[in-house]
Structure 1
Amino acid sequence: MTSLTGYELEAARAGDSRALARVLSVERSRVLRYAERHCSVHDVEDAVQETLLIVSRRIRQLRILEAFNGWLFRIVKRECDRMKRFWRSHVHDYAPERALEQPVVIPVDALRCDLEQALESLPAHYRQVIVLRDVEELTIAEICETLDLSREAAKARLHRARVLMREYLNP
């Protein structure tokens, strides 16, 4: 893993476009990992792009270089929260004029297809743990042994995977 030096951050802050490009390139993977934890599945890439754009525009305003990491992750979190608010206020405001008279029946093949797509949308480490638990029906202890994780880490991953699946299936 490549890391930045204080010199590169200082050069980017001073307006060096090559240093800024390097900062954005190096930090993209960290921003992506952080966004995967805090954003809805469909918003991750947008949050990463918006974050990098904000960093490129405002890095000159950063007063203390040691605060760069905290500043960067606050931007990612703020972007994820902004996108969640947008989805809640603009996408989920549909309300039919009258209730449906008959229940909606979803064919099994369509449900299977939706589940497959939801699983494919998960990051690999979440997909792996949810398949082991909910498809192969392994216990948490067996998952810990298989993936070499602590009990808490396995449970946290499983919880987050299920949350992401719910978000995907029930926007």
Structure 2
Amino acid sequence: MRQETEQLIQAACAGDKEALSKLLTVCQPDIKRFARRTCSTSEDVEDAVQIALWQLYNKIGTLKTIVTFSSWLFRIVERECYRLFRKKLPLHPYDESHFEQIVSSSNDLDLQIDLTNLIISLPHIYREVLILRDIEEFSAPEVAEKLSITIDAVKTRLHRARAMIRQEFQTHA
């Protein structure tokens, strides 16, 4: 992190409104770039950036150390992208309650957050197959029809998505 940015963060944490305004301007391009990689649509990118900037504006004073600033800010964007993505999923009442049951069956909140973040971080073609097959529990032929791809492509993408998640869990475990 550049020294200028660190000074802006310190001043903003201390309540300097001018520094906070400059910090919002300085951070926006990085937040937007990150959101483009994380969010599923360009509209979600704009919404996630605005939420992140709003959170930064409202909660900068709660930041404990400058070192955590970037991860704190990007985590806000990541959560917002996921929230917007989930909001658009066409879940049926049965599927939604089933998904909530799966998520709530684990008592480990950190594990839930890590798994959610891993799913979000998957490339779009793998993420959509994984969600349709493993969360919404569509059959391979149904997924193939929804995505206009072959059943073999569904199987390949699902295998790769699961392998990516498994590898990330093993790397961070």
Deviations 1:58-84 (A, max 9, x none): 110000111111111111101111111
SS at match of 1:6: helix
Asked if the contact 2:5–2:23 (Cα under 8 Å) also holds between the matched residues in 1, the reply is: no
Q: TM-score, normalised by structure 1?
A: 0.51
Asked if the contact 1:4–1:23 (Cα under 8 Å) also holds between the matched residues in 2, the reply is: no
Q: TM-score, normalised by structure 2?
A: 0.50
Residues 77-156 of structure 1 aligned to structure 2 (within 5 Å): 77-88=78-89, 92-93=90-91
Cα 1:51–1:10, aligned 2, differ >3 Å: closer, same or farther?
A: same
Structure 1 partner of 2:12: 12
Determine the C-alpha separation between the residues in 1 that align with 2:66 and 2:3. 14
Instruction: State, as a whole percentage, how many aligned pairs show the same letter.
Output: 38
Greater percentage in helix: 2
| Bigger RCO of structures 1 and 2 (CA < 8 A, at least 6 apart) | 1
SS at match of 1:5: helix
Residues 14-93 of structure 1 aligned to structure 2 (within 5 Å): 14-41=14-41, 42-88=43-89, 92-93=90-91
Name the aligned partner's letter for residue 62 of structure 2. Q
**What is the deviation of 1:160?**
5.2
Asked if the contact 1:28–1:52 (Cα under 8 Å) also holds between the matched residues in 2, the reply is: yes
Determine the C-alpha separation between the residues in 2 that align with 1:8 and 1:31. 16
**What is the deviation of 1:86?**
1.3
**What is the deviation of 1:35?**
0.2
Asked if the contact 2:48–2:77 (Cα under 8 Å) also holds between the matched residues in 1, the reply is: yes
**What is the deviation of 1:40?**
1.1
In the alignment of these two chains, the number of paired residues is 100
Q: Which runs of 5+ in 2 are unaligned?
A: 94-121, 127-146, 148-173
**What is the deviation of 1:15?**
1.1
Name the aligned partner's letter for residue 15 of structure 2. G
Asked if the contact 1:11–1:20 (Cα under 8 Å) also holds between the matched residues in 2, the reply is: yes
The structure with more radius of gyration: 1
Asked if the contact 1:3–1:26 (Cα under 8 Å) also holds between the matched residues in 2, the reply is: no
Q: Which runs of 5+ in 1 are unaligned?
A: 96-158, 164-169
